[in-house]
Amino acid sequence: MCFVVASVAAANAAGGPKPSAKPNFGPNVLVFDPGMQQAAMQVQIDKIYAVEQHSEFGPARYAVLFLPGKYHLDVPVGFYTQVLGLGATPDDVQITGNVRSDASARNNNATTTFWRAAEGFSVTPAGGTMQWAVSQAVPFRRMHVRGNMVLHQHRGWASGGWMSDTLVDGNVDSGTQQQWISRNSDWGSWTGSNWNMVFVGVPHPPAGEWPAPPYTKVAQTPIVREKPFLEVDAKGNWSVRVPALQTDSAGITWRGGSTPGRSIALNRFYIARPDVDTAASINAQLARGKHLLFTPGIYDLAEPIRVTRPNTVVMGLGFATLRPTQGTAAMTTADADGIEIAGLLFDAAPEKSPVLLEVGPQTSSASHAKNPIALHDVFFRVGGAGVGRTQVNLRINSNDTIVDHTWIWRADHGAGVGWTSNTSDNGLVVNGDRVTIYGLFVEHHQQFQVLWNGNAGRTYFYQSEIPYDPPDQASYTSAPGVNGWASYKVADTVTSHEAWGLGIYSVFRHPNVTLTRAIEVPRKPDVRFHHMITVALDDKGEISNVIDDKGGPTSINPRTTPRVTEFP
- Mean pLDDT for each 10-residue chunk of the chain (568 residues)? 40 42 92 97 98 98 98 98 98 97 94 97 98 98 98 94 98 97 98 97 97 97 98 97 98 95 98 98 98 98 98 98 98 98 98 98 97 98 98 99 98 97 98 98 98 98 98 97 98 98 97 97 98 95 97 89 97
Domain 268-567 matching CATH 2.160.20.10: the answer reads yes
pLDDT at 556: 82
The answer to whether the peptide bond before residue 211 is cis (omega within 30 degrees of 0) is yes
Residue 177: its H or E element: none
pLDDT at 22: 80
Q: Is 119 helix (H, G, I), strand (E, B) or coil?
A: strand
Q: Is 465 a catalytic residue?
A: yes
Spatial separation of the C-alpha atoms in residues 94 and 73, rounded to whole Å: 10
The string of DSSP codes covering 229-242 is EEEE-TT--EEEEE
Spatial separation of the C-alpha atoms in residues 290 and 111, rounded to whole Å: 39
CB-CB neighbours of 80 under 10 Å: 29
- Backbone φ/ψ region at 447: left (φ over 0), alpha (ψ -120 to 50), beta: beta
Spatial separation of the C-alpha atoms in residues 504 and 488, rounded to whole Å: 9
Residue 275: its H or E element: none
Instruction: For the chain, give every domain's residue range.
Output: 29-224, 268-567
Q: What is the pTM of this model?
A: 0.96
Spatial separation of the C-alpha atoms in residues 11 and 16, rounded to whole Å: 5
pLDDT at 19: 45
Spatial separation of the C-alpha atoms in residues 516 and 485, rounded to whole Å: 8
Spatial separation of the C-alpha atoms in residues 395 and 362, rounded to whole Å: 9
pLDDT at 8: 37
**Measured between alpha carbons, how far is residue 88 from residues 24, 190, 240 in Å?**
21, 27, 10
Residue 41: its H or E element: helix 38-52
Q: Are 154 and 129 in contact (CB under 8 A)?
A: no
Q: Are 315 and 240 in contact (CB under 8 A)?
A: yes
Which of 52, 465, 520, 542 is catalytic? The answer is: 465
